[in-house]
Chain A
Amino acid sequence: MSSLLIQNLKKSYGAVEVLKDINLEAESGEFVALVGPSGCGKSTLLSIIAGLESVTSGEVLIEDRVVNDDAPKDRDIAMVFQSYALYPTMTVRQNMTFGMECRNIDKATQAETVDRVAALLQIEPLLDRKPGQLSGGQRQRVAMGRALVRDPKLFLFDEPLSNLDAKLRVEMRSEIKKLHQRMGRTTVYVTHDQIEAMTLATRIAVMHKGVLQQYDTPDMIYNQPANMFVAGFMGSPNMNFFKATIVDGDVGLAVRLDGSDGPALPLGAEQAATVSAGQAVVFGVRPEHFSPAHEQRAERKGRVTVPVPVTVDMDEPTGAETILMARVAGQDAILVCEPEEAPKPGETMDFAIDMAKASLFDAATERRL
């Protein structure tokens, strides 16, 4: 059974179309992450699911019921806001019971529920404080608590962690994951932090300029991005996009980086099936899919690699790994490698590209081939 179904959804503000033909389905218990750059329409989509914004056309279904015309309170959803939106004049306890009070739930049940959720989130000592007397992380917990007391069909999160410092964000991230595993409720989670999306979601919806670019599992989004936007948006540092041309190699088709004078890189059978010789393509390689050629790391796993000479311009050691700003066949590239293997700036060294992990995009449409 699908818990949330969005069909041909369009939303315009006057003449401006902010959501263009969105189709999305979440199964019961799924954790859907909505990601995309600022202004792409994530919050708008979430508000439409919540019923805080109307649709221009299309349908929203929650548990197979069309809710287009239902008020937010009749949709059985709970939402956590980026600003937390805690009621400033109420105590934490009152914040949590307000929703139940509006639904005429009796006092005893209210108290019981608050106690249970407060224990779950470890906010019992805070119950009698006002939001103004809480730290950012505590407010975040209370905002979650307010959603959890409701046991709704659908949880909606709008960038709930973006106001926290980096360390707390990582902590809360794993806490949200635990909570989701425990509660098993369908969740739609807006973020523009791709790590949050990758770690939490069962499926990721990548949006750009109001268009849903790809909706798939984190693994597919990362390894088989549907187009150059998704490929570039997910992953840090960004995927390298090399201008290249398909050529006839010694053993079937191969890809030659424009400006390269070395051998062409032979394509695997699967990749070769989608292209033809002479085609202009964009060859996408993630920074971590380069490895020093002499290590032969990918070969050991039985994969094909081809060494390419890499000239390093600058290095950025981060401790765990070193990021190299470099040039491959005269085109700018970013590589990641282990600190002790990193060549010095100015040096040229052979790096092997893991061909199975590389992506090919059409140079004109930017779609995956």
Chain B
Amino acid sequence: MADTTHQSFDPLATGSRARQTRSRSIVYLLLGLFALLYLSPLVIIFMNAFRPLEEIVREGFISLPNMLSATYWVEAWSTFCIGGTCEGVSRYFSNTLLMTVPATILSTAIGLVNGYALSKWRFKGDTWVFGLITLGVFMPAQMTLLPWAFVLGKIGLSNTIAGLVLVHTVQGISFTTLFCRNYFLAVPDDLIKAARIDGAGFWRIFRRIMLPLSPPILIVCVIWQFTGIWNEFLFGTVFTSGSNQPITSAIVAFSGSGTGERHYNVEAASVIFAALPPLFIYVIGGKYFVRGLTSGAVK
């Protein structure tokens, strides 16, 4: 299932030898140029995480490190002081982890059930329900700030990780429902009919028939949600403060504090710490991500 078949047509492999070499080198040159362009910020940040502060101040940002030292990494992770607490970014890293993992799991799980119900158990007004849920996809996050602040205050979850989990779960359902419902539409209705005649109910059909067909869209939802929630900044900054902040807000807090000198090297290491998990998720799941977005469910 769900294998994309690649047509083995190579437009560069036509024409004369000379033409082939010429077109090939142009393509690779352009590709290399753009890769360099996209990667250069990452490379610069990475190199600065190894350089002592005086060296950065003296030679500027763009320069090779004279010697490699892991001290700034350690400092960034565990001892650096941010807003009075001196635990480095590790605390905020785990905050974000505690926020992202449950919110990703919950929003994906709910999206799967929503998508299943909306595609396979049509009911009166189902298109309206679907329309309302997916409206969230098009709604700017800024618009939801005030209502959320009100809700979180009412239920006593202001300035907590749990509050952020709630916000991200609800906000994420719009996306996951959209993804899953459209994916499940490709699953033939006859399968559901056959299962109903076989005697299976709503949940058994979900568990035994839909879920086993879901890995491609499951991966899409998880990657989408995980990277989105991990990198999210606005809600974290508005709804939490101090030691309850997610890592994105914390990094901005310490780099933008304005007092004293900037520890560029520690900042650089912190930023890389913050960027690693989404990168990691994308590297292991990226192949399935692209496949899941483009493929139908079953033949």
- Measured CB to CB, the residues of A under 8 A from B are 47, 50-52, 71-73, 77-79, 81-83, 85, 87-90, 98-99, 102-103, 132, 146
B145 at the interface (CB under 8 A from A): no
Docked Cα-Cα span, A89 to B197, in Å, equals 18
Residue of B nearest to A143 (CB): B194
Query: If A52-B193, A79-B194, A98-B208 touch, does A85 touch B188 (CB 8 Å cutoff)?
Result: yes
Interface-facing stretch out of B32-40, B164-172, B198-206: B198-206
**Contact, CB under 8 Å: A85 / B200:** no
Docked Cα-Cα span, A171 to B45, in Å, equals 71
**Contact, CB under 8 Å: B188 / A132:** no
Q: Which chain A residues lie closer than 8 Å to B196 at the CB level?
A: 52, 71-73
Docked Cα-Cα span, A87 to B208, in Å, equals 9
Q: Which of A51, A79, A103 counts the most chain B CB atoms within 10 A?
A: A79
B195 at the interface (CB under 8 A from A): yes
Q: Which chain A residues lie closer than 8 Å to B200 at the CB level?
A: 73, 98, 102
**Contact, CB under 8 Å: A85 / B194:** yes
Q: Which chain A residues lie closer than 8 Å to B195 at the CB level?
A: 87, 98
Nearest CB on A from B116, distance (A): 15
Q: Which chain B residues lie closer than 8 Å to A77 at the CB level?
A: 197
Q: Can you offer 7 A-B residue contacts whose CB atoms are under 8 A? A: A51-B197, A73-B197, A81-B190, A83-B188, A88-B213, A98-B195, A99-B197
Q: Which chain B residues lie closer than 8 Å to A82 at the CB level?
A: 190
Nearest CB on A from B258, distance (A): 57
Docked Cα-Cα span, A71 to B201, in Å, equals 10
- Measured CB to CB, the residues of B under 8 A from A are 1, 188, 190-191, 193-200, 204, 208-209, 212-213, 298-299
Q: Which of A72, A87, A88 contacts B197 (CB 8 A)?
A: A72
Q: 9 nearest interchain CB pairs?
A: A102-B199, A89-B212, A99-B198, A85-B190, A73-B199, A85-B194, A72-B197, A81-B190, A72-B196
Q: Which of B1, B190, B298, B299 counts the most chain A CB atoms within 10 A?
A: B190
Q: Which chain B residues lie closer than 8 Å to A98 at the CB level?
A: 195, 198, 200, 208
Docked Cα-Cα span, A126 to B194, in Å, equals 20
Residue of B nearest to A53 (CB): B193
Nearest CB on B from A120, distance (A): 19
Nearest CB on A from B55, distance (A): 58
Docked Cα-Cα span, A89 to B194, in Å, equals 14
**Contact, CB under 8 Å: B209 / A83:** no
Query: If A98-B208, A102-B204, A132-B299 touch, does A87 touch B191 (CB 8 Å cutoff)?
Result: yes
Nearest CB on A from B219, distance (A): 16
Docked Cα-Cα span, A132 to B298, in Å, equals 10
Q: Which chain B residues lie closer than 8 Å to A90 at the CB level?
A: 208, 212
Docked Cα-Cα span, A81 to B195, in Å, equals 12
**Contact, CB under 8 Å: B193 / A103:** no
Q: Which of B198, B199, B204, B213 contacts A89 (CB 8 A)?
A: B213
Residue of A nearest to B297 (CB): A88
Nearest CB on A from B299, distance (A): 7
**Contact, CB under 8 Å: A87 / B209:** yes
Q: Which of A71, A85, A89 contacts B193 (CB 8 A)?
A: A85
Docked Cα-Cα span, A89 to B213, in Å, equals 7
Docked Cα-Cα span, A81 to B200, in Å, equals 17
Residue of B nearest to A47 (CB): B193
Docked Cα-Cα span, A188 to B198, in Å, equals 18
Residue of A nearest to B198 (CB): A99
Residue of B nearest to A88 (CB): B298
Residue of B nearest to A156 (CB): B197
Q: A52-B196, A81-B193, A87-B195 are in contact. List 9 more A-B contacts (CB 8 A).
A: A47-B193, A50-B193, A51-B197, A73-B197, A79-B194, A81-B194, A89-B212, A99-B198, A102-B198
Q: Which chain A residues lie closer than 8 Å to B1 at the CB level?
A: 88, 132
Docked Cα-Cα span, A77 to B193, in Å, equals 12
Q: Which chain B residues lie closer than 8 Å to A47 at the CB level?
A: 193
Docked Cα-Cα span, A99 to B209, in Å, equals 13
**Contact, CB under 8 Å: B188 / A50:** no
Nearest CB on B from A3, distance (A): 17
Q: Which chain B residues lie closer than 8 Å to A87 at the CB level?
A: 191, 194-195, 208-209
**Contact, CB under 8 Å: B213 / A78:** no
Q: Which chain A residues lie closer than 8 Å to B212 at the CB level?
A: 89-90
Nearest CB on A from B34, distance (A): 39
Docked Cα-Cα span, A152 to B195, in Å, equals 15
Docked Cα-Cα span, A47 to B190, in Å, equals 11
Nearest CB on A from B65, distance (A): 52
Residue of A nearest to B214 (CB): A89
Nearest CB on A from B156, distance (A): 44
Query: If A50-B197, A72-B196 touch, does A89 touch B209 (CB 8 Å cutoff)?
Result: yes
Docked Cα-Cα span, A82 to B213, in Å, equals 21
Nearest CB on B from A302, distance (A): 52
Q: Which chain B residues lie closer than 8 Å to A81 at the CB level?
A: 190, 193-194
Nearest CB on B from A99, distance (A): 4
**Contact, CB under 8 Å: A103 / B199:** yes
Q: Which of B190, B191, B193, B199 contacts A99 (CB 8 A)?
A: B199
Q: Which of A52, A87, A90 counts the most chain B CB atoms within 10 A?
A: A87
Query: If A85-B190, A85-B191, A132-B1 touch, does A79 touch B197 (CB 8 Å cutoff)?
Result: yes
Docked Cα-Cα span, A88 to B186, in Å, equals 13
Docked Cα-Cα span, A314 to B195, in Å, equals 52
Nearest CB on B from A141, distance (A): 16
Q: Which chain B residues lie closer than 8 Å to A78 at the CB level?
A: 197
Docked Cα-Cα span, A147 to B57, in Å, equals 78
Q: Which chain A residues lie closer than 8 Å to B194 at the CB level?
A: 79, 81, 85, 87, 146
Docked Cα-Cα span, A73 to B197, in Å, equals 5
Nearest CB on B from A368, distance (A): 38
Docked Cα-Cα span, A85 to B196, in Å, equals 12
Q: Which chain A residues lie closer than 8 Å to B209 at the CB level?
A: 87, 89
Docked Cα-Cα span, A83 to B190, in Å, equals 7
Q: Which chain A residues lie closer than 8 Å to B199 at the CB level?
A: 73, 99, 102-103
Q: Which chain A residues lie closer than 8 Å to B193 at the CB level?
A: 47, 50, 52, 72, 79, 81, 85
Q: Which chain A residues lie closer than 8 Å to B197 at the CB level?
A: 50-52, 72-73, 77-79, 99
Docked Cα-Cα span, A87 to B191, in Å, equals 7
